[in-house]
A and B are shown apart, each in its own frame.
Chain A
């Protein structure tokens, strides 16, 4: 019986020739990540351990991104704790305000995540780096602490679900629609404890930013990780951004999967997840009634990359957001911000009546920069629409692509760009 792509990476990092689903292993880590919310707890836990500093100062990434620039005194204290820990331990990859970005957009851009890596992060969306053929998964703060101290983590080897992507998505259908479609199909626990392995000729029709979006939301189906094969596009991304050594792993031909699905990308339509679960999906064509909205957020670790901003700008160019609409655009990193500026995208957003923010996770988790009042509705390119996620428990979040979010900002109701005059 062969191994899946994920199993091969885990076996290699555990020093084993072979692993199988359900086996408990201890794997060497290539990178341990934390942010301003999870790192302070990890630092406190690490201080209780009888260890002499971190396992490797270059293999830890600390990214204050959730509540920065500091939103209040308590957040400032958390950030200070992380900053001082980084200095004390001479952490190479600490990113201060001005250099930081949303962690899962920033680390690939900085070349810290490459094919074949095993990466843990105290943030659930750490699964994003599967787009580059790495095994990466979210953990909690204590796991992060143990990872920083020992360079190792225990894993239960996951079984996998195979998603065979074929065909080419039509205009206005993006990676976000692909992953929302999949979550709608298998449910928010459809991949619980499992790998989601994406294969097929259709992948060639997905940009790297589309693939990051898809891998990013594997956790919203309960997945342990989402992973893509390393093709020429992924390889050129890695070579452009990193000089780290990488290893390309491929699933064995006789690898066993719990389930297999084939998805024809050409048949997908813009897809929206209704409150209060990412699995409550409808295609744009299935929405009969007018769903009036108060706010649009375009950004986050899911959809704050350059392709996302380009699509939003294409829709917003020469148009204006609806009366009373708050449209918040958040480039995910400083580089994306700069690129968007140089391409003229920021001008398009501002002329359209949107506000452009410095990189932050802020509104996605109801932190700051776009909290919802009672009864308000938001179309958001973020990843979760749980009760109270962006503010009041009686507010509503509709998850969508940047294209649908931008179109909805213009009309004031959930809309497809194809409907715009």
Chain B
């Protein structure tokens, strides 16, 4: 499985409050949440994002609130993958549980800029910066988590057991 898209780039400590502000948490509809995705950090995001695009960020992406609405909004906005130097742990779990592909890779986070075209190969963990002609090796998931991702989330994984 591969993802290819244009990169939206953010810095350290992107918190779940800016990913999806609490004033919109009176809804749990993915499509509605997607219309406010990243609103408090980047008002242009929802206007520009195309299906398949990729978010790249520095350390501690998704810190703060446990709201699963954050990865749901990102996924529903069409984002195919989030690459970061590190992820906050609840966001990390939530992304896996809802089937939003994420990759931890400090080198990729540093070597990719906004607007770059990037390809992620989830089987090999290789991230290719097509624009710059560089590539990086992401951290592969433990086998247990790969099974959850392959089942497209924890619910399907449990149902299949």
Are A and B interaction partners?
yes
A365-406: which have CB < 8 Å to B? 365-367, 384, 386-389, 393
Q: Is the CB of A189 within 8 A of B60?
A: yes
Interface size on A, residues (CB 8 A): 50
Q: Is the CB of A388 within 8 A of B21?
A: yes
Supposing A50-B159, A192-B86, A366-B21 touch, asked if A72 and B26 sit within 8 A by C-beta, the answer is yes
Nearest-CB distance from A88 to chain B (Å)? 18
Q: Is the CB of B13 within 8 A of A67?
A: no
Q: Is the CB of B86 within 8 A of A138?
A: no
Identify which of B1-9, B63-71, B112-120, B126-134 touches chain A.
Answer: B63-71
Contact partner of A386 (CB less than 8 A), chosen from B15, B25, B66, B67, is B15
The reply on B50 being an interface residue by CB < 8 A is: no
Q: How far is the CA of A139 from the CA of B93 in the complex (A)?
A: 7
| Chain B hits for A75, CB < 8 A | 26
Nearest-CB distance from A51 to chain B (Å)? 8
A-B contact pairs, 13 of them (CB 8 A): A38-B67, A41-B28, A41-B69, A66-B25, A67-B25, A71-B26, A124-B66, A139-B66, A142-B153, A188-B60, A189-B60, A189-B63, A367-B22
| Chain B hits for A384, CB < 8 A | 15, 17, 64-65
Q: How far is the CA of A72 from the CA of B25 in the complex (A)?
A: 11
Contact partner of B90 (CB less than 8 A), chosen from A71, A139, A389, is A139
Contacts from B to A (Cβ < 8 Å): 13, 15, 17-18, 21-23, 25-28, 40-41, 59-60, 63-69, 71-72, 86, 88-90, 93-94, 97-98, 142, 144, 153-155, 158-159
Q: How far is the CA of A19 from the CA of B28 in the complex (A)?
A: 37
| Chain A hits for B17, CB < 8 A | 365-366, 384, 386-389
| Chain A hits for B97, CB < 8 A | 140, 142-143, 146
Q: How far is the CA of A221 from the CA of B59 in the complex (A)?
A: 13
The reply on A40 being an interface residue by CB < 8 A is: yes
Q: How far is the CA of A71 from the CA of B35 in the complex (A)?
A: 22
Q: Is the CB of A123 within 8 A of B154?
A: no
Q: How far is the CA of A38 from the CA of B66 in the complex (A)?
A: 8
Interface majority SS (helix, strand, loop, mixed), chain A: loop
| Chain B hits for A57, CB < 8 A | none
| Chain A hits for B68, CB < 8 A | 38, 41, 122, 140-142
Q: How far is the CA of A246 from the CA of B159 in the complex (A)?
A: 33
Q: Is the CB of A140 within 8 A of B67?
A: yes
- Closest A residue, CB atoms, query B65: A124
Q: Is the CB of B155 within 8 A of A140?
A: no
The reply on A277 being an interface residue by CB < 8 A is: yes
Supposing A44-B28, A141-B68, A146-B158 touch, asked if A154 and B144 sit within 8 A by C-beta, the answer is yes
The reply on A64 being an interface residue by CB < 8 A is: no
Contact partner of A142 (CB less than 8 A), chosen from B15, B18, B98, is B98
Q: Is the CB of B18 within 8 A of A386?
A: yes
Supposing A123-B66, A141-B68, A188-B60 touch, asked if A40 and B28 sit within 8 A by C-beta, the answer is yes
| Chain B hits for A307, CB < 8 A | none
Contact partner of A189 (CB less than 8 A), chosen from B13, B27, B67, B159, is B13
Q: How far is the CA of A277 from the CA of B40 in the complex (A)?
A: 15
- Closest A residue, CB atoms, query B23: A366
- Closest A residue, CB atoms, query B32: A74
Nearest-CB distance from B71 to chain A (Å)? 8
